[in-house]
């Protein structure tokens, strides 16, 4: 279970499918789209789910039309629901109702762990620790307590702290001279519609890209160091050669949803997606 005193809090907030019961392959509904090749009703196992609760096409998900599965990250909520909330029982319908709640709380814990890791965010480390302890206590509630959690209220309570931390980390970029590219370092681009935008080699270091729509954006060679990417939609964004060193609040799901290559630099806590080793032609067809 999540613990704010764990030497590596991020380790406990990563999916461990061996300790889950394939909740994400059964509980959610999804519609045929660019993310999923078929329709699936809520509570019905995916047609590719094997009897051992593992995906039968795991290594071919993108090629078979399921990039949404690749990009999904439960932040370790699946194994927490099974092993902690339900004490290791076999899969049952009640698990599906609390999975989204625990996932949302674990996502907050991920962001708060990052705040505490950032030296520049030192002034809010104490507040981040207190918030982490409070959210962790919520995750350890029983089924009824979890059902009663107001996820939106919890996000609203943590958001000001995350904004403060972001401002502290990005502060050194605000007063730098404008370099080459469309935006100055530290630019405020929160919630901007940049879908499909040509942002090749643009300096976006320290930029506020919270909630920005970057679907299909061409970010090859872009400088995204210390940019705030919380909630940014990076589906099919081209990050080949981009530098996301120190990017704030970047998650595994965002990275998995984008295209990249061996030259793409990402935060140390995130694994490089296997599909980033695709050929140039394969990447451009995504």
Q: What is the pLDDT of residue 11?
A: 86
Cα–Cα separations (whole angstroms), residue 127 to 95, 138, 155, 165, 247:
31, 17, 15, 10, 21
Please give the mean pLDDT across all residues of the chain: 90
Residue with tokens 């630099």: 265
**Domain limit, last residue, from 170, 205, 227:** 170
Nearest to 79 by CA among 14, 3, 136: 14
Query: For the chain, how many structural domains are there in total?
Result: 2
Domain assignment present for 4: no
**Residue 54 and residue 13 share a domain:** yes
- Rounded-to-integer distance, Cα 256 and Cα 108, Å: 19
What is the pLDDT averaged over residues 149-160?
A: 98
**Residue 158 and residue 112 share a domain:** yes
Q: Is the pLDDT of residue 281 over 60?
A: no
**Residue 190 and residue 165 share a domain:** no
- Rounded-to-integer distance, Cα 26 and Cα 85, Å: 18
**Residue 132 and residue 180 share a domain:** no
Domain assignment present for 2: no
Domain assignment present for 1: no
| CA-angle at 74, arms to 57 and 210, nearest 5° | 115
- pTM (2 decimals)? 0.89
Residue 114 is part of which domain span? Answer: 9-170
Question: Which pairs from 237-243 meet CB under 8 Å and 24+ separation?
Answer: 238/283, 239/264, 240/264, 240/283
CA 77 to chain centre: 13
Confidence of residue 14 (pLDDT cuts 50, 70, 90): very high
Q: Is the pLDDT of residue 7 over 70?
A: no
Are residues 1 and 16 in contact, defined by beta-carbon separation less than 8 angstroms? no
Q: Is the pLDDT of residue 109 over 70?
A: yes
**Residue 247 and residue 154 share a domain:** no
**Residue 33 and residue 146 share a domain:** yes
Q: Which residue has the higher pLDDT, 177 or 162?
A: 162
Q: Is the pLDDT of residue 90 over 70?
A: yes
pLDDT tens digits, 208-256? 999 999 999 999 999 999 999 999 999 999 999 999 999 999 999 999 9
Residue with tokens 């995906």: 55
**Domain limit, last residue, from 170, 189, 214:** 170
**Domain limit, last residue, from 170, 197, 227:** 170
What is the pLDDT averaged over residues 158-168?
A: 98
Domain assignment present for 155: yes
Q: What is the pLDDT of residue 8?
A: 82
**Residue 152 and residue 181 share a domain:** no
What is the pLDDT averaged over residues 14-41?
A: 92
Confidence of residue 185 (pLDDT cuts 50, 70, 90): low
pLDDT tens digits, 34-67? 899 999 999 999 999 999 989 999 889 989 999 9
Tokens of 8: 């590596």
pLDDT tens digits, 259-279? 999 999 999 999 999 888 754
Nearest to 278 by CA among 240, 244, 250: 240
Are residues 76 and 16 in contact, defined by beta-carbon separation less than 8 angstroms? yes
């Amino acid at each position: 279970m999540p613990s704010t005193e764990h030497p590596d809090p991020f380790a406990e907030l990563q999916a461990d499918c061996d300790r889950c019961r394939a909740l994400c392959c059964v509980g959610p509904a999804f519609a045929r789209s660019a993310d999923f090749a078929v329709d699936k009703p809520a509570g019905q196992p995916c047609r590719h789910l094997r009897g051992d609760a593992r995906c039968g096409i795991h290594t071919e998900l993108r090629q078979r039309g399921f990039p949404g599965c690749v990009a999904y990250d439960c932040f370790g909520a699946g194994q927490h629901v099974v092993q902690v909330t339900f004490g290791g029982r076999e899969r049952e319908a009640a698990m599906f109702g609390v999975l989204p709640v625990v996932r949302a709380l674990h996502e907050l814990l991920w962001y708060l762990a990052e705040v505490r890791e950032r030296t520049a965010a030192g002034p809010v480390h104490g507040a981040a620790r207190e918030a982490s302890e409070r959210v962790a206590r919520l995750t350890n509630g029983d089924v009824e307590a979890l059902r009663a959690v107001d996820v939106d209220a919890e996000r609203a309570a943590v958001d000001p702290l995350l904004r403060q931390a972001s401002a502290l980390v990005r502060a050194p970029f605000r007063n730098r001279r404008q370099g080459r590219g469309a935006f100055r370092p530290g630019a405020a681009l929160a919630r901007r519609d940049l879908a499909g935008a040509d942002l090749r080699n643009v300096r976006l270091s320290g930029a506020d890209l919270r909630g920005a729509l970057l679907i299909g954006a061409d970010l090859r060679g872009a400088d995204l160091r210390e940019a705030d990417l919380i909630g940014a939609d990076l589906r099919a964004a081209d990050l080949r050669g981009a530098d996301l060193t120190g990017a704030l609040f970047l998650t595994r799901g965002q990275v998995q949803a984008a295209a990249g290559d061996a030259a793409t630099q990402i935060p140390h806590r995130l694994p490089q997606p296997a599909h980033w080793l695709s050929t140039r032609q394969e990447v451009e067809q995504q």
